[in-house]
Amino acid sequence: MDFYFIWTSHGEQCGYTGEASTSNIQNHVGEMNADFPRENIDEEFHETSIPHVGSDENNSEEPCEDASMFFKRLKDAQQPIYEGCREGLSGLSLSSRLLTIKTDHNLPEVCLDAICEAFTDYLPANNRAPKSYYEMKKLTRSLGLPMHKIDVCQDNCMLFWKGDDKLLKCRFCGKDRYKPKPGGGGKKVPYQRMFYMPIGDRLKRLYQSERTASHMRWHAEHLSPEVEMHHPSDGEAWKHFNKVYPQFAVEHRNVYLALSTDGFNPGGMHSRDHSVWPVIVTPYNLTPDMCMKKENLFLSILVPGPKHPKKSLDIFLQPLIDELKDLWTNGIQAYDVSKKQNFVMRAVLMWTISDFPAYGMLSGWMTHGRLACPCCLDETQSFWLRNGRKHSWFDCHRRFLPEDHAYRKNVRSFTKNKSISDLPPPFLSGEEVLYERINQIEGVLRSVNCGGNGHIPRNINGYGEYHNWIKKSIFWELPYWENQLLRHNLDVMHIEKIFSTIS
């Protein structure tokens, strides 16, 4: 077909035979795809097995103590549910499937206990089926992947966590931590509680599984044509980070992460207001298609609501930021089944991904008003629509075009009789943003220190006139954050949806 370009990066074949054929990369990714049908929790461990250290490999090592314990527990959990059963049926597979059914259909624990009892009665004698909901939880928890419940202030001021875990009232607003007990006895029930799933153990599992271990090095071992970008590792921000931190980059098994979050109403559009915010962490070491597989999107934090976190989102991110700092500084011991080696795995958060409102919550630059654009900052060219009663950025994009671009001199298709000669605003490094902007503004504080949304100063000097900073983001605590070239990204899905709605 005339004037048709072959989309090699989207699966179409071509005869390119350069440094690394795009079609070969795509075929390799396609083969990977066929090996990833996961439908329940048991699939997370399906091809994980105790490694056998061969004598022909000089660098082979026995798994470290933590990995050995995991492999042993997994082997015990994957014993046949009864002698002579079909291959793959185990107590773990049954437990994971029943737990999935419980979640999907909101079954009570009593109902699940009855189902377990029925399974036990109908299966052959001496079977290994779980006897109750408690046994299923105990079995799955023995494989690791813990979850922590952390009490939160009613107004999202603070976490009752670490040094504050014994407090009964909020340090900022003074409200009670627990609900009053009607009879004066029984278990204390907090007003609000968040859920935190540590990511370190989940990242280690990627190296303990035969189906993912070798692919965790793909980001460093693949070859892409110079003019094409197949993966974030081909981009400028990734390469810049590796130049700044070569000691991190030299170990290809170190993990590069991205963080994404957005709010939703669990009851749908027609239910009462309730804002739940999941925080997803994704390892970008894997191939492009594997990065986006749901089994590789790790739920790290669940902000339960019902209140919108607004400027208090940093309060809920504290456990994750603490773990990220430890993963960067100290790392954790892991075992790579593909190389049969123990190593210290470190991790880095490369950037965040969100829609525009969440961009402001994560970065600290409020995305509303005249200075909403986080790229233009105080050099915005936005203007006020008198009749529309809102700000507009119409025709502000032309200054970002190359100086010799034809659109700059186009006086008909954009603002009538107006050509553009202005240069784009200067690109500020993380150090310039932190030390020359944020730290120089009186009143811009860390929300963790001042108590979140309800206690952040409202009258910050110069806000809305010279800047839109409302807080010092918690991400600046990461020792490498100021050296990241690209810290916050906009989610393409939301942008496409908005444009498709307009058109």
Measured in whole angstroms, the distance separating CA 364 from the mean position of its chain's CA atoms is: 18
Same domain as 353, residue 267: yes
Cα-based distances in Å from 67 to 42, 198, 330: 18, 17, 18
| pLDDT tens per residue across span 88-102 | 888 888 999 999 999
Residue 495 lies in a domain: no
Confidence of residue 260 (pLDDT cuts 50, 70, 90): very high
Q: Could you give the number of structural domains in the chain?
A: 4
Rg, C-alpha atoms of the chain: 26
Residues 344 and 388 in one domain: no
Residue 300 phi, psi (nearest 5): -100, -40
Q: Does residue 236 share a domain with residue 130?
A: no
- Is residue 44 included in any domain, yes or no? no
The verdict on 181 and 308 lying in the same domain is yes
- Cα(474)–Cα(316) distance, rounded to whole angstroms? 10
Residues in the chain: 503
Average pLDDT over every residue of 164-178 = 94
39 within domain boundaries: no
Question: Side chain identity at 498, as an amino acid letter?
Answer: I
Read off the amino acid at residue 364: G
The answer to whether the CB of 363 falls within 8 A of the CB of 385 is: no
- pLDDT in the model for residue 69: 85
- Statement: residue 26 has pLDDT above 50: no
81 and 130 share one domain = yes
Q: Clarify whether residues 79 and 29 are in a common domain.
A: no
Which amino acid type is present at position 173? C
Report the mean per-residue pLDDT for the chain: 86
Specify whether 314 is located in the same domain as 268: yes
Whether residue 350 is found in the same domain as residue 248: yes
Do residues 375 and 351 both lie within one domain?
no
* pTM for this prediction: 0.84
% residues pLDDT > 70 (the chain)? 86
- Pick from 167, 190, 211, 203: which is nearest to 34 by CA? 211
Q: Is 491 a domain residue? A: no
Contacts of 55 (CB under 8 A, 6+ apart): none
In a domain, 489, yes or no: no
Domain boundary (316, 339, 357) is at 357
Q: Are residues 97 and 216 in the same domain?
A: no
Give 51-84 pLDDT, tens digit per residue: 555 444 557 888 888 888 888 888 888 889 988 8
**Where does a domain end: 302, 329, 357?**
357
> Which whole number is the average pLDDT over 279-298?
93
Q: What's the pLDDT band for 501 if we cut at 50, 70, 90?
A: low
Does residue 193 fall inside a structural domain? yes
Most confident of 1-10, 16-25, 125-134, 267-276: 125-134
- Residues 118 and 2 both lie in one domain: no
Tell me the average pLDDT across 147-173.
94
pLDDT tens digits for 308-367?
Answer: 998 899 999 999 999 999 999 999 999 999 999 999 999 999 999 999 999 999 999 999
Is residue 481 a part of any domain in this protein? Answer: no
Residue 452: its pLDDT value, please? 84
The residue from 357, 376, 411 where one domain ends is 357
Question: How far is Cα 57 from Cα 24, in angstroms, rounded to an integer?
Answer: 29
User: In this structure, are 439 and 384 located in the same domain?
Assistant: yes
Residue 12 has a pLDDT of 53
The answer to whether the bond into 198 is cis (omega within 30° of 0) is no
Q: Give a yes or no: residue 14 inside a domain.
A: yes
Residue 42 binned pLDDT confidence (cut-offs 50, 70, 90) = very low
* Rounded CA separation 97/89 (Å): 11
Closest C-alpha among 425, 415, 427, 454 to residue 309: 454
d(Cα 449, Cα 158) in Å, to the nearest integer?
9
* Mean pLDDT value across residues 6-18: 49
Q: In the chain, what percentage of residues exceed pLDDT 90?
A: 61
CB–CB of 274/267 below 8 Å? yes
- Pairing outcome for strands 347-354 and 298-303: unpaired
Judge whether residue 470 has pLDDT over 60: yes
Query: Confidence band (pLDDT; 50, 70, 90) for 279?
Result: very high
Q: Which of 119-123, 155-159, 202-206 has the lowest mean pLDDT?
A: 119-123
> Domain limits at 108?
65-141
DSSP track, 157-213: --EE-GGGTT-SB-TTT--BSBPPPTTS-S---BSEEEEE--SHHHHHHHHHSTTTT
**Average confidence (pLDDT) over 466-485:** 95
